[in-house]
Amino acid sequence: MKKGLFIFLCIIFICTCVGCTEKSTLENGKIEVIVSRDFGNEIVSEKAVDFSEDSNAIEVMEENFDIETAYGGGFINAIGGLKSGFTGVEDKKKVDWFYYVNGILPEVGAQDYYLKSGDVVVWDYHDWSNNRYGSSIIGAYPINFINAHDENVLKTEITYEKNYEKESQGFASFLKEQGVKNIVFKNMDEQVLENGEINSILIGSWDALSKSDTIKGFYENGKKTGLYFKMDKNIKALNEKGEIAKEYKKGAVITSIVKEYGLSGTIWLITGNDEACIKKAIKLLYENPEKLKGKFSIIVTEDEMVNIPIKN
């Protein structure tokens, strides 16, 4: 073989190998999987796993966890031996595994949801007998504002009361550092709050925020929207049945609501009945964001952080 031809073939071989390496990199990613119980009250397992970007949520679980499936492989019946209380048993109890991708409960089975690198997937085992459904949780923060749900990355609008300007600006700066784009500050607008194509973050006292007809509507329909707090003179933490489990004189809540079924726009409420607690809750979002991991919603008091709904 002539020397020139040999060199040419070597170059082709090297380029082909480089191309294969780049393709492999593009086709693989990393996601975080959190396995929990009782609406985020107990974290069972937490893993960062590598996966092929054409993998669905079931396939990722099969490769990295001990699971059982049902209904033709499209439904997770057990993780780590903890089984559905409803499927395949005679004495049925409405307790099952539910999954959330970047904070949103998907409207398709896990077999039909294809993941992308950076996603945070929460699998939570909880009771559904009380028909209280929340389609949005805070436990994927801040990825919910970056990767969003089903690749639908939305603009984020922040509204805050003047008392919380310093903390709100610190919160916004943190989000930008994490890669959140399209953040704007706005006055509260009912049309924006109802727009399912925008993420709305509301920061302020409950007295101020509850004047919004939209917020009032979500609050009064808390059973359907998945709100597990009550606010009057005190702040009250609810259990999974919607009953008052604990009560605090002073506190703040961080919670999220899906604006409209079928869309991924959310409302995040950082609110409460005490200015110091509200400021503490905002700072938590940019000083200790890891504390939200896997949580459904939280109440921040002078002394503690409480996951809600509270486990019975």
List b or e across 155-187, with b for residues whose CB sees 16 or more CB atoms inside 10 angstroms. bbbbbbbeebeebbeebbebbeeeebeebeeee
Residue 19: the pLDDT is 39
Q: In the chain, where are the structural domains located?
A: 29-127, 143-308
Residue 264: the pLDDT is 82
Residue 97 CA to its chain's centroid (Å):
16
9 Ramachandran zone, left/alpha/beta (phi>0; psi -120 to 50):
alpha
Residue 15: the pLDDT is 34
- Domain 29-127 top-level CATH class: mainly beta
- pLDDT tens, residue by residue, 172-188: 999 999 999 889 998 88
d(CA 79, CA 62): 10
Mean pLDDT of 136-150: 90
Q: Which amino acid is at 182?
A: N
- pLDDT tens, residue by residue, 35-82: 999 999 999 999 999 998 889 999 999 999 999 999 988 899 999 999
- pLDDT tens, residue by residue, 272-285: 999 999 999 999 99
Report the predicted TM-score, pTM, of the whole model to 2 decimal places. Answer: 0.89
Tokens of 228: 């597990």
Residue 150: the pLDDT is 67
Q: Which of 295, 272, 307 is nearest to 122 (CA)?
A: 295
From the options 3.40.50.1110, 3.30.379.10, 1.10.10.10, 3.10.20.340, give the CATH code of 143-308: 3.30.379.10
Tokens of 257: 């609501």
